[in-house]
Amino acid sequence: MNISYNWLKEYIDIDLQPAVLAEKLTNAGLETLIVETSPEFFKSIVVGHVVSKEKHPDADKLSVCMIDLGRGEPQQIICGAPNIEVGQNVPVATIGTTFPDGMKIKKAKLRGVESNGMVCSERELDLSQDHSGIMVLDDHAELGMDMKAYLSGNDVRFELDLTPDRSDALGHIGVARDLAALLGTEMRKPLLEIIESNTATSSIISVELDDPKACPRYAARIIKNVKIAESPAWMRQRLQTAGIRSINNVVDAANYVLIETGHPLHTFDLRYIEGGKIIVRKAFDKEKITTLDGKERELDDSVLLICDAKKPVAVAGVMGGENSEVKDDTTDLLLESAYFDPVVVRRGAKKLQLATDASHRFERGTDPNGIPSALDRLATLIVELAGGELTQGQVDAYPHVIEPLEVSLRSERCNAILGTTLDLATMAKILNGLELFHTEKNGIFQVKVPTFRPDITREIDLIEEIGRIFGYNNIPVPQHFSIANKINRKTPDQMREKIIDHLAAVGFNQIYANGLLALDEHPEVFGDEEALLLANPLSKDMASMRSSLLMGMAKVADYNINRRQSDLKLFELGQVSTLDLNSDTGARETSHLGIFISGDLQIKQWSQESVPVDIFHMKGMLRSVFQDLFGLTIAFQSLEHDLFSESLGVYLNEEKIGVLGNLKMINQNLKSVRGVYAEVRISENLGLEQSIQYQKVSIYPAVERDLSIIIDSDIAYEQIDESINKNAGKSLLYSRLYDIYEGKSIASGKKSLTFRLVFQNKTRTLTEKEIDKDFQRILKGLEDAYNATLREAI
Partner 1 sequence: MSLFKKVDELRSEFKQALASSPALSDLERIRQEYLGRKGILNDLFKKIREVEADRRGEFGELINQLKLDIHDHIEERINEHQAEAKATSSVDVTLPGVRYERGTLHPIESTLRDFKQIFHRLGFAVAEGPEIETQWRNFDALNFPPEHPARDMQDTFFLMNESVLRTHTSPVQVRIMLEETPPIRSIMPGRVYRNEAIDAGHYCLFHQVEGLYVDEHVTMGELKATLELFCREYFGQNVKLRFRPSFFPFTEPSSEMDVSCFLCGGKGCKVCKQTGWLEIGGCGMVDPNVFKAVNIDSEKYTGYAFGMGIERIAMMKYGITDIRLLFENDVRFLKQF
The residues in 391-420 that bind partner 1, with binding defined as CB under 8 A, are 416-420
List C-alpha distances in Å: 780 to 408, 666, 788: 93, 47, 9
* DSSP 8-state assignment for residue 653: T
Q: Residues 166 to 205: which contact partner 1 by CB under 8 A?
A: 166
Provide the minimum distance between the beta carbon of 244 and partner 1 in the complex, in angstroms, as a whole number.
23
State which of residues 125, 499, 513, 597 lies at the interface with partner 1 (CB under 8 A): 513
Asked whether position 357 contacts partner 1 by CB under 8 A, the answer is no
Q: Is 328 in the site for partner 1 (CB under 8 A)?
A: no
> Angle at Cα 376 formed by Cα 374 and Cα 380, nearest 5°?
120
According to the binding rule CB under 8 A, does residue 475 interact with partner 1? yes
Taking the least distance from each CB to partner 1, the nearer of 81 and 434 is 434
Q: Rule CB under 8 A: choose which of 185, 565, 638, 690 binds partner 1.
A: 565
Tell me if 589 contacts partner 1 by CB under 8 A: yes
**Which of these segments, 102-110, 115-123, 599-607, 668-676, binds partner 1 (CB under 8 A)?**
599-607
Is residue 518 close enough to count as binding partner 1 by CB under 8 A?
Answer: no
Among 559, 700, 717, 734, binds partner 1 (CB under 8 A): 559
Least Cβ distance, residue 465 to partner 1 (angstroms): 9
Q: What is the DSSP string of 115-160?
A: E-SEEPBTTTTTS-S--SSB----TTPPTT-BHHHHHHTT--EEEE
Q: Contact between 52 and partner 1 (CB under 8 A)?
A: no
Instruction: Tell me if 141 contacts partner 1 by CB under 8 A.
Output: no
Q: Do 76 and 116 form a contact (C-beta atoms < 8 A)? A: yes
CB of 177 to partner 1, least distance (A): 15
Q: How far is the CB of 26 from partner 1 (least distance, A)?
A: 6
Of residues 109, 441, 563, 744, which one binds partner 1 by CB under 8 A? 563
Binding status of residue 163 toward partner 1 by CB under 8 A: yes
Q: Which is nearer to partner 1, 533 or 688 (CB)?
A: 533
Q: Is 516 in the site for partner 1 (CB under 8 A)?
A: yes
Sequence-distant (≥ 6) Cβ neighbours of residue 39 within 8 angstroms: 100, 126
User: Of the ranges 499-507, 518-526, 649-657, 747-755, which one interacts with partner 1 (CB under 8 A)?
Assistant: 499-507
Nearest-angstrom CA–CA distance, 326 and 171: 24
13 belongs to the binding site for partner 1 (CB under 8 A): no
Is residue 186 within 8 A of residue 309, CB to CB? The reply is no
Rounded-to-10 torsion of CA 614, 617, 623, 626: -100
Stretch that binds partner 1, among 94-102, 140-148, 268-276, 498-506 (CB under 8 A): 498-506
- Is 423 a binding residue for partner 1 by CB under 8 A? The answer is no
Q: Which one among 398, 508, 596, 644 touches partner 1, defined by CB under 8 A?
A: 508
Q: How far apart are CA 489 and CA 791, in angstroms?
A: 57
Does residue 688 contact residue 494 with C-beta atoms inside 8 Å?
no
Residue 507 in the binding site for partner 1 (CB under 8 A): yes
For the bound state, the minimum distance from the C-beta of residue 474 to partner 1, rounded and expressed in Å, comes to 10
Minimum CB–partner distance for residue 318 and partner 1 (Å): 16
For partner 1, the closer CB: 547 or 647: 547
Strand-pair partners of 76: 66
- 150 sits in the region (left: phi over 0; alpha: psi -120 to 50; else beta) called alpha
User: 479 vs 691, which CB is nearer to partner 1?
Assistant: 479
What DSSP string runs through 33-97?
EEE--S-GGGGGEEEEEEEEEEEETTEEEEEEEEEE-SSSSPEEEEE--TT--TT-EEEEE-TT-
Q: Is the dihedral of CA 319, 322, 327, 330 positive or negative?
A: negative
Work out which of 279, 338, 556, 757 binds partner 1, going by CB under 8 A.
556
Contact 335, 374 (CB under 8 A): no
Q: Work out whether 309 is an interface residue with partner 1 (CB under 8 A).
A: no
Count of residues that interact with partner 1, criterion CB under 8 A: 92
- Reported as type and span, the H/E element at residue 649 is strand 644-652
603 scored as a contact of partner 1 (CB under 8 A): yes
Contact status: 157 vs partner 1 (CB under 8 A): no
> HEC states along 719-767?
HHHHHHHHHCCCCEEEEEEEEEECCCCCCCCEEEEEEEEEECCCCCCCC
- Cα separation, 541 vs 118, whole angstroms: 57
Based on the shown chain and the rule CB under 8 A, indicate whether residue 18 belongs to the binding site for partner 1.
no
> Minimum distance between the CB of residue 449 and partner 1, rounded to whole angstroms?
15
Binding residue for partner 1, selected from 136, 542, 766, 785, defined by CB under 8 A: 542
Rounded to a whole number of angstroms, the minimum distance from the CB of residue 448 to partner 1 is 20
Asked if 354 interacts with partner 1 (CB under 8 A), we say: no
For residues 681 and 661, the answer to whether their CB atoms sit within 8 Å is no
Residue 353 touching partner 1 (CB under 8 A): no
Q: Which alpha helices (H) appear in 316-423, and where do they start and end?
A: 342-352, 357-364, 371-386, 411-418
Residue 468 in the binding site for partner 1 (CB under 8 A):
yes
Among 103, 192, 229, 506, binds partner 1 (CB under 8 A): 506
Question: Three-state secondary structure along 294-307?
Answer: CCEEECCCCCEEEE
One-letter amino acid for residue 619 of the chain: K
Nearest to 659 by CA among 673, 669, 649: 649
Tell me whether residue 389 or residue 580 sits nearer to partner 1 (CB atom).
580
Ramachandran category for residue 506: left, alpha or beta (phi over 0 → left; psi -120 to 50 → alpha): alpha
Phi, psi for residue 187 in degrees, rounded to 5:
-115, 165
Of the residues 221, 569, 674, 791, which one makes contact with partner 1 according to CB under 8 A: 569
Exposure of 278 in the CB half-sphere (CA atoms within 13 A)? 36
Q: Least separation, in Å, of the C-beta of 476 and partner 1?
A: 6
Kindly indicate which of the ranges 51-59, 84-92, 319-327, 513-521 contains the residues binding partner 1, using the contact rule CB under 8 A. 513-521
Entry field: residues in the chain: 794
The three state secondary structure string of 563-602 is CCCCCEEEEEEEEEEEECCCCCCCEEEEEEEEEEEECEEE
Return the number of the residue (196 or 558) whose C-beta is nearest partner 1: 558
Q: Which is nearer to partner 1, 493 or 520 (CB)?
A: 493
Q: Does 595 bind partner 1 (CB under 8 A)?
A: no
Q: Which of the ranges 280-288, 339-347, 672-680, 753-761 carries the binding residues for partner 1, by CB under 8 A? A: 339-347
Task: Pick one of 128, 225, 575, 627: the residue that binds partner 1 (CB under 8 A).
Answer: 575
